[in-house]
A and B are shown apart, each in its own frame.
Chain A
Amino acid sequence: ETGVTQTPRHLVMGMTNKKSLKCEQHLGHNAMYWYKQSAKKPLELMFVYNFKEQTENNSVPSRFSPECPNSSHLFLHLHTLQPEDSALYLCASSQLAPRGPGELFFGEGSRLTVL
């Protein structure tokens, strides 16, 4: 138990579906992140929220839409995805420190399959 909970753990969707991934952190952190993990590739940073404000959008296609209603919750809304978007989506939180992001606490991930 890392203090970061992701739901659902597994999701299968068609290319025309709309779905959302949810992340909740119980650690009192001030930053939350979405990462994409594909086989044999580095974790790709998608979005960063710092005190609920989006501070990074790493050239992510608009079919991925993040939402951070408060410092404890983070959503990733999915719409008209492509098969190449199939991956493990990891949410993380951290307490930002003067010298950097500090330790990232990850959830267990949401395994997404796009048919």
Chain B
Amino acid sequence: DAKTTQPPSMDCAEGRAANLPCNHSTISGNEYVYWYRQIHSQGPQYIIHGLKNNETNEMASLIITEDRKSSTLILPHATLRDTAVYYCIVRLRYQTGANNLFFGTGTRLTVIP
């Protein structure tokens, strides 16, 4: 799977948008971009994923550049409960059997009151 690069930490003011970048310059054409987050002492939580189009759900928006070499996860109105480590992962979607989620170091987002 392609490697990803994320900033180790970011701060965001409560109520403002949090924009978390991810570089994945070696992503292949059939690999998806997935985002998970892990709140302290909990298991990872799926947020959103995409292939090449921008995606939005009730939690966040995902913006993928046209060349697919980078993406940004946007939390439109960050709350204190969004404080967590956010992981950007690129993976093949249509793959059975073997594990296809490799967690890097992620970005530790701290939402400040």
Asked if chains A and B come from one complex, the reply is no
- Name B's A-contacting residues (CB within 8 A): none
- Name A's B-contacting residues (CB within 8 A): none
